[in-house]
Structure 1
Amino acid sequence: MLFTQFTDMKRDLRSTDCDRSTKLTKLRQSLPMFRGSGKLNKQFPALGWPLATGLAYYTAAVTSLALTKGHDGIATVWPSSGVLVAALLLSEKRVWPLHILAGAIASLVANLGQGNGIGISLGFTAANVAESLLAAWLLMRSNAQRPFAARSTDIVTFCTLAACSTLISASMASMIVPDPTPVFWFSWFSTDLLGILLVTPLILIMGWSLRRGRLLPRHQTLGQIAAMFAIVAAVAIFTFSQSRFPLLFLPMLTILAAVFRLGVLGATGGVLVVAVVSSIAVTLHSGPEALIDADPMARSLFLQFYLLSLFASSLPIAVLLAARRRLVNEISESVRLLQLAESVANVGHWRLDILTETVTWSHQVFRIHGLTDDHPPAYADAINAYHPEDRAMVSSTIERAIMDHQGFEFRARIIRPGGEIRHVLSRGEFDGISIDRPLALFGVIQDITAQAEHEDDLKAAGQRAEKAAEEAQILAETDQLTGIANRRRVTQYLAEAMASALESGRPMAIALLDIDHFKAINDRYGHLVGDQVIQRVAMDASRQLRGNDMLGRFGGEEFVIILPDASADIAVMVAERVRSAVEASRTSPSVTISIGVAEWTLGETSDSLLRRADEALYAAKRAGRNVLKLSA
């Protein structure tokens, strides 16, 4: 239920004109787990989360200190810092003081329970709380609180900011103890850094997974995760239950296996399992680190360095694997969409390896030829698929393109296995840019049988063919969706208007307009409603133009207005009238437009004029949309 509500809210906010942080805030306020109502918070009062933070902080601190203590009462790993940092990142800033207070009380009680004086306990508490607060604030500001789901560079930011906060915390703690030493400073630094690096990502993974309505990673079951961590634990126990052989490399092997199976969860969770097992081993005076001829503090520092090395080796690999999986998914989706587009447009693509004469066909090319795509054809078979009267032309066209290293285009007929004749249009380019790929021809083929039959009808029809040619000309210059001029006609009319302005010395201008947030409308309502919005905007805009003005669709949701005999002031007046009319429309969904206006200057080309209008349009977009901007 929570996941469904969250998905519905995301879809409703896609078209909202606000930035990403505002949308996240609205989503949080809209769900029971964030706004303090609903089943979850009825069972868990408003103060429950801070209390849970304090309890988790205290439990982690006492457990860590009980498992293994270093010099001056500093544990090998301090998970409490990671608990508080994660709690702050998962909560809204308005409740941060409650989490900080809960963590401070837990830290003070834990320090007093270890026999520290009230002064030192207060000082250590201040250092711990300041560390977590600074780390959470820096991570939130840098947007690096989710390194396990972002770019690989974000993990460096995450680790760097965590190190900065623990560096300051260690310095604060060193000023509190009576006899500070470099060893104390480094031990505090490494202990708290391990706590943040190991615990914070784990809690964040669970927190964000719960918000998505999915606790476990994709394609993983609780049993598989438990089994993977059980293997890591077993190897760690085997490694640290003896002090005879230096087997510290074995846990890394199992952690890497966990990384490949579970991603970042396997990296952080695996290192945390090793940290727990090694901490218990230190308490029992066991483990390979006992082979080191040094005092207990040096051994503890060595163990911390070992754990940091495990983390530094495994987490980047996990992030890179996650990025690789995302890339594979994106490529798969792109291939799927390409196949869908080819199927809708009845267009396929092919490639001919020039050296080996190996032909590669897309699925749609097989469909056009009436064949199954079980086996790719040989080059000779591909040529023989054409009509006998067209084979020589096709072969010579391809050979000429190969010899001249140039593009090609031809129309021909193919014969399907059942004897059906289809007319096709094929065009392509010489593919010789890539250094690590052999020379090839790349082309597309389109089934134009309907078009060819129509052309035959035109040739056979006399007067009717002449009339059909006139209609085809109109269609060629008219946008089929809106009925206004298309790009071709707009370009032609712009050239005529500029020539007239040059000859008469009178001004002329153009306006580019674009529907704001049109992609969000398509995503939310579908392309049918999107087409209706384009039609409505074209109709509203047309009603506001002067008699000799032309409105044309340049492509997608972008329109062009040609304004002959119009200075900049007149053009702005007409364009503003268009913008207001679109905004005032009461038809749902309501939309707005942004407009860029440019007045033609003597000697200016159409490309330059369009570019200036386009720059003004993007200035209007940057200014907040539903705005008109005049090019300088």
Structure 2
Amino acid sequence: MKRSLSPGVETAFWSLLTLAGYALLASLSLHATRGADNIAAIWPPSGYFLALLLLMPARARAASFIAMAVASIAANMLSGTSALVAAAFTVANVAEAGAALWLIRRRVPGDLSFMEPRAVANFCIAVLAAGALSASIAAALLGMLDAASLAGRGLDFFLSWLTTVTLGLLIVAPPIVMLARLIDSRALGNVPRATIAEAVALLIFAAALTVACFSQAHFPATFLPTVAVIAASYRLGPFGAAAGMLIVAIIASWMTGQGFGPVAAIEGSQKGKILFLQFYFITLLFTALPLAALLVVQRRLAKRLEQSNRWLLQAEAAALVGHWRVDLVRWTIQWSDQAYRVHGLEPGEMVGVDYSVEQYLSEDRAAVRAILRQAVQTGEPFEYQGRIVRADGAIRHVKSHGSIERGRGGRAVGIFGTVQDVTETVENARILEAARSAAERVANTDMLTGLPNRRHTLAFLDAALVGARDQGVPLAVAIFDIDHFKRINDDHGHAAGDEVIRRVARRARASLRDEDLVGRFGGEEFVCILQRSSAQAAEIVAERLRSAIEAEGRADEELPPATVSVGLAVYDGEGDIEALLHRADQALYLAKREGRNRLRMAA
């Protein structure tokens, strides 16, 4: 507990709390219920002191142990126990508290929480071990002090002490620790009044049922308090279980000690009655407290699951991803809300297994079926993409990933998958591809003529040369330029010159075969790449090109006539395109020297 006290005052506070509380509880317990060997049926002071040890700061524990010892000796002596026996009992109780605290700190990291099943189990183990140690010490010391009175009853004394002390630790410590931490953390201030009223009513109900059960012996109704404690556990959690158990233990112990109730009416010795009552408490405790802790875990898991599902739905909606599962045994399908939205349906509408596949366009449907069928047969994860027709008639691109669920024997029992609307991604990819293609065309195209530019022409020629060299197919290159083009520009202007270049480009492209290429090299110069053409065939194509340009130039009345000179070179094992182009260029110069408007073949 957090207190703004100086260390000295704080130590004094915990010491006085220990002294007063332990003395009062010990005196009441010894007075109310006694068992064999003058040992109470339940020893609440042990649980009270352990709770204080778990709550107090470490620096206050030594003084509190001293205060506890004083209170224990005083209470035992006031009840008529000799000083030596009282001291022996006190030593056993001190050892029990110290051992329980050490084991709890060792087995439970951090503060002990009765909300965790593992922590509850470790607490019970520590308490049982400490009770066994305490009973052993008490039996040994009492045997040394009064061997005659303990002769033949050593085991009975050990078991009686063990159950009495252990029950005190198990029943009293948990509710005190939980209530103190609730108060210290100010959590009670945030609890609705209706919840507090319900808690009070449940605990009063547990007390009333216990009084009704243990105030009479006509009806063996010891199960009734169990109902109340289970109800408190379910509604209030571990605190309800611990508080209800404490109320039942106090009332049942006191009334049994006064001779009331079904336990007191059992025929037999007082020791047998007390053992039965202790067994009743242990059974009720080990039913209620673990159950309450498990209910807390279940509620936490349910809350986390609810939160995870909420986040999943939000993530699916943001990413346009839904999930689905096909039960191959029952042949049913389940869709998430987003899967319905992807298909243009309202969540919850009835759909069959075949519905989602039938929504794919016919050209995609067969491929989807084949992929799913193969996945079921092989058990491998799958992925496919296609186009579906939504309920509103819109066509959307969707992508699915999934895996196969296998049951016993490796048999496929289900298919789990996701479905994602990737229409925007596909459209964006198409736009990007179109933009890339357009950019590539711009980068490879001469803007004046629309023909491949010098860069593209050289790249095409390099690939054609590799093919000719590796595959042994013929290749020819023709270089031509417009005769007296400077004169056309000077006499008719650059605009007319550009139109002449365009006209030559159109006619040259129309004169070639589909597998051939003509590109503008720069200015009025062009290059033709004639693939799979022998020398004779290449010469025929090049001459056809020259003649067509000459004929169109004469027929065009709006632009000045123009002719071209052509140099042709056939691939002859050149190592690179520069050597082949050089030969064609030499042939072009020869054609120009011999009068222009003619074709010449490189040697």
> TM range, normalised to the smaller chain?
0.5 to 0.7
Q: Secondary structure of 1:243's partner?
A: coil
1:234-383 to 2 correspondences below 5 Å? 234-383=208-357
- Taking a change above 3 Å as real, the CA distance of residues 432 and 158 of structure 1, as seen in their structure-2 partners, is same
Is the contact between residue 353 and residue 438 of structure 1 (CA under 8 Å) also seen in structure 2?
A: no
Q: Which residue of 2 aligns with 1:69?
A: 34
| Deviation at residue 196 of structure 1 after TM alignment | 0.2
Q: Secondary structure of 1:461's partner?
A: helix
| Deviation readout 1:577-632 (Å, 9 max, x if unpaired) | xxxxxxxxxxxxxxxxxxxxxxxxxxxxxxxxxxxxxxxxxxxxxxxxxxxxxxxx
Q: Which residue of 1 aligns with 2:116?
A: 150
1:525-540 to 2 correspondences below 5 Å? none
- Taking a change above 3 Å as real, the CA distance of residues 226 and 306 of structure 1, as seen in their structure-2 partners, is same
1:467 and 1:53 mapped to 2: Cα distance?
92
Q: Which residue of 1 aligns with 2:467?
A: none
- Taking a change above 3 Å as real, the CA distance of residues 216 and 439 of structure 1, as seen in their structure-2 partners, is farther
| 177-186 vs 434-443, which moves further | 434-443
* Identity in percent: 35
| Deviation readout 1:397-441 (Å, 9 max, x if unpaired) | 434444555443222223444444332211222222467997222
Is the contact between residue 366 and residue 372 of structure 1 (CA under 8 Å) also seen in structure 2?
A: yes
2:5 and 2:366 mapped to 1: Cα distance?
77
| Deviation at residue 218 of structure 1 after TM alignment | 7.6
Is 1:89 equivalent to 2:54 in the alignment? yes
| Structure 1 unaligned spans of 5+ | 1-27, 469-632
Q: Which residue of 2 aligns with 1:209?
A: 182
Larger C-alpha radius of gyration, 1 or 2? 2
Q: Secondary structure of 1:453's partner?
A: helix
Q: Secondary structure of 1:349's partner?
A: strand
| 330-339 vs 387-396, which moves further | 387-396
| Deviation at residue 77 of structure 1 after TM alignment | 1.1
| Deviation at residue 121 of structure 1 after TM alignment | 2.6
| Deviation readout 1:429-469 (Å, 9 max, x if unpaired) | 2222467997222211122222211222234335446599x
Root-mean-square deviation (CA, aligned residues, Å) is 3.2
Aligned mate of 1:195, from 168, 182, 186: 168
1:395 and 1:364 mapped to 2: Cα distance?
22
- Taking a change above 3 Å as real, the CA distance of residues 436 and 118 of structure 1, as seen in their structure-2 partners, is farther
Q: Secondary structure of 2:385's partner?
A: strand
| Deviation readout 1:372-414 (Å, 9 max, x if unpaired) | 3132423344334444554444344434444555443222223
Q: Secondary structure of 1:460's partner?
A: helix
1:303 and 1:404 mapped to 2: Cα distance?
63
Q: Which residue of 2 aligns with 1:186?
A: 159
Query: How many pairs were matched up?
Result: 432
Q: Secondary structure of 1:149's partner?
A: coil
1:205 and 1:466 mapped to 2: Cα distance?
74
- Taking a change above 3 Å as real, the CA distance of residues 434 and 360 of structure 1, as seen in their structure-2 partners, is farther
Q: Secondary structure of 2:326's partner?
A: strand
Aligned amino acid, residue 41 of structure 2: T
Q: Secondary structure of 1:439's partner?
A: strand
- Taking a change above 3 Å as real, the CA distance of residues 169 and 346 of structure 1, as seen in their structure-2 partners, is same
1:310 and 1:108 mapped to 2: Cα distance?
31
1:491-510 to 2 correspondences below 5 Å? none
Q: Secondary structure of 1:136's partner?
A: helix
| Deviation readout 1:520-565 (Å, 9 max, x if unpaired) | xxxxxxxxxxxxxxxxxxxxxxxxxxxxxxxxxxxxxxxxxxxxxx
1:395 and 1:288 mapped to 2: Cα distance?
72
Q: Secondary structure of 1:301's partner?
A: helix
| Deviation at residue 316 of structure 1 after TM alignment | 2.7
Is the contact between residue 337 and residue 348 of structure 2 (CA under 8 Å) also seen in structure 1?
A: no
1:346 and 1:467 mapped to 2: Cα distance?
35
| Deviation readout 1:56-87 (Å, 9 max, x if unpaired) | 22222222223222344322211111111111
| Structure 2 unaligned spans of 5+ | 443-603
Q: Which residue of 1 aligns with 2:388?
A: 414
| Deviation readout 1:101-136 (Å, 9 max, x if unpaired) | 232222233223223333333332222122111111
- Taking a change above 3 Å as real, the CA distance of residues 115 and 464 of structure 1, as seen in their structure-2 partners, is farther
Scaled by the length of structure 1, the TM-score of the pair is: 0.62
Q: Which residue of 2 aligns with 1:102?
A: 67
Is the contact between residue 11 and residue 60 of structure 2 (CA under 8 Å) also seen in structure 1?
A: no
1:259 and 1:436 mapped to 2: Cα distance?
43
1:46 and 1:464 mapped to 2: Cα distance?
85
Is the contact between residue 458 and residue 464 of structure 1 (CA under 8 Å) also seen in structure 2?
A: no
1:248 and 1:209 mapped to 2: Cα distance?
31
| Deviation at residue 202 of structure 1 after TM alignment | 1.2
| Deviation readout 1:331-361 (Å, 9 max, x if unpaired) | 3333233333333433221112234442211
- Taking a change above 3 Å as real, the CA distance of residues 169 and 45 of structure 1, as seen in their structure-2 partners, is closer
Q: Secondary structure of 2:435's partner?
A: coil
Aligned amino acid, residue 88 of structure 1: L
Scaled by the length of structure 2, the TM-score of the pair is: 0.65
Is the contact between residue 389 and residue 396 of structure 2 (CA under 8 Å) also seen in structure 1?
A: yes
Q: Which residue of 1 aligns with 2:130?
A: 165
1:45 and 1:158 mapped to 2: Cα distance?
26
Aligned amino acid, residue 196 of structure 1: L
1:313 and 1:189 mapped to 2: Cα distance?
20
Aligned amino acid, residue 177 of structure 2: L
- Taking a change above 3 Å as real, the CA distance of residues 213 and 376 of structure 1, as seen in their structure-2 partners, is farther
1:421 and 1:238 mapped to 2: Cα distance?
73
Q: Secondary structure of 1:422's partner?
A: strand
